[in-house]
Amino acid sequence: MLALQTSGFIYIAALSISHSIFNNRGRVDNGAGGRVRDESSINIKVDYSYVGRIEKGREGGKDKSNGKGRDKEREIEAGVGYSMKHYKLVLGGILALLMFGVVMAYIGYASSVYPLEKARGYIAVAVTSNSPTTMLEYVLEIEQLVPENGNPVWVFPTPKTDFGMMHKSLDEIKERLRVITTLPRDSEAFNTGMSDVRGQLAQLEDNIREAVPYVYVSFQNVVLSAIWITVILAIFTLMKRGKARIERFEDVESERVGNNNN
């Protein structure tokens, strides 16, 4: 469940990133014979052909105009370079944050959910055993995997999902199995005791299964997930602003090319 949610979020984020980076835009330069430019929003090649060339013998006024053109050229180039660095920095940040989220999801599952799933696996094997000694070994393993106390339900908790109550049930099962090991296998008491133990284990498995979803949505996990999503959305906003700034420089440059050709 946790892996599915995480992979889905990463998939959506990857689509957003690829759309922002590799969204090619075709443009027609006015007065350039209908020539189409197809350039990535990241790999910008600024065309400064609108800057008039300085020819020998031109008047001082034209040289002054060309000087202003060079200043404007340097200004646009500096702005585009700054936006490019800002955009790439933000992109690297969001990729690092996504990787951090994947690692944290894995660690959270391995430390809180997986032990309970493993305990359920031991219960499934224990109820099929006909040996009280083997069942006792499985119960001891289950006891190590279930938290000693606490309740994962943080709103209206019940004893059914209380880990402390589960340990009390495990203690009762252990005592009963120790008594059963002293009984003859062909006795009615042995068979009745084994049947009761299987019923207790089945109820314990049901309690653990009901507690697992609440472990996913514990208060701590909800808060951390909210912070993580908020930071990612903030980074996406910064990326969008950086892209908009780059596009503004592209528009200015394209307009000047058209005016110069006209």
Mind giving me the DSSP string for 131-186? -HHHHHHHHHHHHHHS-SS--S--SS--GGG-HHHHHHHHHHHHHHHHHHTTS-TT
Q: Strand ranges (DSSP E) for the chain?
A: 25-28, 36-39
pLDDT at 79 over 50: yes
Any domain includes 252: no
Q: Can you give the pLDDT at residue 46? A: 45
In eight-state DSSP terms, residue 8 is H
pLDDT at 51 over 90: no
Is pLDDT larger for residue 140 or for residue 81? 140
Percentage of residues in the chain having pLDDT higher than 90 = 38
Nearby residues of 120 by Cβ (< 8 Å), 6 or more positions away: 205, 208, 209
At position 193, the amino acid (one-letter code) is: G
Q: What is the domain extent for residue 139? A: 104-243
Q: Hunting for tokens 């309740």 — which residue is that? A: 151
Q: Can you give the pLDDT at residue 201? A: 97
Torsion angle (degrees, nearest 10) of CA 50, 54, 59, 65:
40
**CATH code at position 206:** 1.20.120
Percentage of residues in the chain having pLDDT higher than 70 = 61
pLDDT category of residue 57 using cuts at 50, 70 and 90: very low
Gap between the Cα atoms of 174 and 201, Å rounded: 11
Joined tokens for residue 71: 């200043």
pLDDT at 223 over 50: yes
Joined tokens for residue 40: 């990535």
Gap between the Cα atoms of 126 and 136, Å rounded: 8
Gap between the Cα atoms of 29 and 194, Å rounded: 85
Any domain includes 170: yes
Considering only CA atoms, which of 198, 230, 257, 225 is closest in space to residue 108?
A: 225
Total-model pTM: 0.63
First to last CA, the chain: 61
At position 95, the amino acid (one-letter code) is: L
Q: Can you give the pLDDT at residue 42? A: 43
Q: Can you give the pLDDT at residue 159? A: 93
pLDDT category of residue 15 using cuts at 50, 70 and 90: low
Domains of the chain: total: 1
Using CA of residue 81, residue 40, residue 247, residue 20, what is the dihedral sign? negative
Any domain includes 87: no
Any domain includes 194: yes
Any domain includes 261: no
Q: For 144-188, how does the pLDDT look when each residue is reduced to its tens digit (9 = 90+)?
A: 999 999 999 988 999 999 999 999 999 999 999 999 999 999 999
What is the chain's mean pLDDT, rounded?
75
Any domain includes 235: yes
Contacts 24+ apart (CB under 8 A), 237-241: 238/86, 238/90, 239/20, 239/87, 239/90, 239/91, 239/94, 240/20
Any domain includes 11: no
Considering only CA atoms, which of 127, 40, 120, 128 is closest in space to residue 84?
A: 40
Gap between the Cα atoms of 74 and 224, Å rounded: 45
